[in-house]
Amino acid sequence: MRKIETSLAAATIEAPKTTAEGIGAEGVIRPAGSGRSKPTKDPYNPDFIRPLTFEEAYPKCTKEYIPVTHEGTGEVMSVPFRRIHLADTDPGCEHLDLYDTSGPQGVNPREGLPKLRKSWVGRREQKGDATPTQMWYAKQGIVTEEMAYVAAREGMDPQFVLSEVARGRAIIPSNKRHLELEPMIVGRNFKVKVNSNIGNSAVTSSIEEEVEKLQWSTLWGADTLMDLSTGKHIHQTREWIMRNAPIPVGTVPIYQALEKVDGIVENLTWEVFRETLIEQAEQGVDYFTIHAGVLLRYIPMTASRMTGIVSRGGSIHAKLCLLDHKENFAYEHWDDILDICAKYDISLSIGDGLRPGSIKDANDEAQFAELLTQGELTRRAWEKNVQVMNEGPGHVPLHKIPENMRNQLDWCSEAPFYTLGPLTTDVAPGYDHITSAIGAATIGSLGTALLCYVTPKEHLGLPNRDDVKAGLIAYRIAAHAADLAKQHPRAQEWDDALSKSRFEFRWEDQFNLAMDPITARAYHDETIDSDAGKNAHFCSMCGPKFCSMKITEDVRAYAREHGYGVDEKVFEVGMENMSKEFAKVGQVYTEETELANKLGKE
Query: What pTM, to 2 d.p., does this model score?
Result: 0.87
Whether residues 454 and 552 fall in one domain = no
pLDDT for position 544: 54
pLDDT for position 246: 98
Whether residues 439 and 574 fall in one domain = no
Whether residues 460 and 546 fall in one domain = no
Residue 276: give the domain boundaries.
250-486
pLDDT for position 22: 39
351: in domain: yes
465: in domain: yes
pLDDT tens-digit profile of 299-357?
999 999 999 999 999 999 999 999 989 999 999 999 999 999 999 999 999 999 999 99
- Please check the confidence at residue 233 and state whether its pLDDT lies above 50: yes
Query: Alpha-carbon Rg of the chain, whole angstroms?
Result: 26
- Please check the confidence at residue 590 and state whether its pLDDT lies above 70: no
Query: Which of 468, 486, 504 is the last residue before a domain boundary?
Result: 486
What value does the mean pLDDT take over residues 251-262? 97
> Residue 56 in 3-state DSSP?
helix
7: in domain: no
347: in domain: yes
In this structure, the number of other CB atoms found within 10 A of the CB of residue 357 comes to 22
Whether residues 575 and 458 fall in one domain = no
Confidence of residue 471 (pLDDT cuts 50, 70, 90): very high
- Please check the confidence at residue 587 and state whether its pLDDT lies above 80: no
* Cα-to-chain-centroid distance, residue 507: 28
561: in domain: yes
Query: Which of 421, 454, 486 is the last residue before a domain boundary?
Result: 486
Report CA-CA distances (Å) from 436 to 187, 468, 519, 521: 21, 14, 21, 26
Whether residues 457 and 547 fall in one domain = no
pLDDT tens-digit profile of 547-570?
665 666 666 666 677 666 655 565
Residue 362, CA atoms < 13 Å, CB-side half-sphere = 22
pLDDT for position 176: 97
Residues 6+ apart with CB under 8 A from 355: 310, 311, 314, 367, 391, 392, 393, 394, 395, 420
Whether residues 256 and 383 fall in one domain = yes
Whether residues 432 and 323 fall in one domain = yes
236: in domain: no
Query: Which of 486, 511, 534 is the last residue before a domain boundary?
Result: 486
Whether residues 451 and 583 fall in one domain = no
575: in domain: yes
Distance CA 96, CA 126 (A): 41
Whether residues 342 and 454 fall in one domain = yes
pLDDT tens-digit profile of 413-430?
999 999 999 999 999 999
Confidence of residue 385 (pLDDT cuts 50, 70, 90): very high
Q: Which amino acid is at 495?
A: D
Distance CA 326, CA 335 (A): 18
Across the chain, what does the average pLDDT equal? 88
Confidence of residue 585 (pLDDT cuts 50, 70, 90): very low
pLDDT for position 588: 40
Query: pLDDT over 70 for what percent of the chain?
Result: 82
pLDDT for position 559: 67
pLDDT for position 539: 58
Least confident of 51-55, 181-185, 588-592, 594-598: 588-592
Residues 6+ apart with CB under 8 A from 46: 40, 206, 207, 208, 211, 240
The answer to whether residues 103 and 113 touch, using CB atoms and an 8 Å cutoff, is yes
pLDDT for position 204: 80
- Please check the confidence at residue 20 and state whether its pLDDT lies above 70: no
- Please check the confidence at residue 38 and state whether its pLDDT lies above 90: no
Whether residues 459 and 579 fall in one domain = no
pLDDT for position 426: 97
- Please check the confidence at residue 597 and state whether its pLDDT lies above 60: no
CATH number at residue 269: 3.20.20.540
Whether residues 482 and 555 fall in one domain = no
Whether residues 328 and 444 fall in one domain = yes
403: in domain: yes
pLDDT for position 114: 98
Domains held by the chain: number: 2
